[in-house]
Structure 1
């Protein structure tokens, strides 16, 4: 399917009454599509998708469109939102240890590439701290540097093991058994059923 058809299909999954803070609606997206613009409608649809839960298919369609447009970060974000629609949202305030105190000496891509281990309070059968894997998306910045701080979103490999967490809980990020950073849970939203499903 070509990009305009994908974007049109995505617009059909957005309720007409949803509007961004700047009063952008799906009607505005249609105007850009009539003008044969693709980047702007994609960005606007991503914004509209943040307002209320939309179906996984909405995010998958947008991811495919972004991939066809070779917008890698946008495609990664849409795949991320598809995951969050199915599994819920975990946001945290992460502070990394400085390079002088940590194994990591360089910055890393904040677009969901890194899959660190986390001590979230679980234990192994022998009573040792259990480390659980979750991908990390740094909000509002493309890269996170040693000693840096950012709000992040976490995508656990096994979401069931993370259900005990609540806002205010402190968890630690690990590259190995040593602590690479500390995060305070800001928000947890369980999966919500989008309208019409």
Structure 2
């Protein structure tokens, strides 16, 4: 499929009744598609996906379209959202330790590249922490500086182990054995119910 076909197919999965914060709907997507405004249509479909739970196929179609348009961050975001549609969402407010107190001296890349370890409360037989791996996406920013704070999304390697997390729970991020940051869970839930998969 070419880009317009991918975007048209994705738009068919969006209920007509939903609208973005600015009252844009799937009808507006069709207007942009009719005028070959593919990047605008893609961005609007991403926004509509934030308003209503949509199936992984929606996000995969958008990822393919974004890749064809050579929009790297948008491609990565749509793949990320397809993961969340399958495995659930985990959002947290992450505070990184300052560079003077941690091994990290450079910013954390924001688009799901870093795969740090996390202490989510599991313990080994000897009482030590069991660390789990989850990719990290910094929301609303391309990176997070040492000492900085931002809302983040986590994509665990084994999502089932993270199901017991609850809002308000504190977890710690590790890039080595020492703590690199602390996160407070904002949202944690199973995959959303969607009308198609």
Structure 1 residue 108 displacement after superposition: 2.2
Partner of 2:167: 167
- Matched with 1:184 is 184
1:1-197 residue pairs with structure 2 within 5 A? 1-196=1-196
Structure 1: unaligned runs, 5 residues or longer: none
Show CA shifts across 1:72-129 (max 9, x none).
0000000000000011111111000010111111012101110000001011243321
* 1:119-151 Cα deviation digits (max 9, x unpaired): 010112433210000001111111111111001
* SS, match of residue 171 in structure 1: strand
TM-score by length of structure 2 reads: 0.97
Alignment root-mean-square deviation, CA: 1.0
Off by >6 Å, runs of 4+ in structure 1: none
Q: Structure 2: how far apart are the matches of 1:139 and 1:149?
A: 11
Give the length in aligned residue pairs.
Answer: 197
Gaps of 5+ in 2: none
Residue deviations 1:9-66 (CA, integer Å, cap 9, x gap) = 1111111111111110000000011111111000000000111111110000000000
Give the Å deviation of 1:196: 4.3
**TM-score after normalising by structure 1:** 0.97
Q: Confirm or deny: 8 A CA contact 2:163 2:188 kept in the other structure.
A: no
d(CA) in 2 for partners of 1:111 and 1:54?
Answer: 21
1:193 Cα offset (Å): 1.9
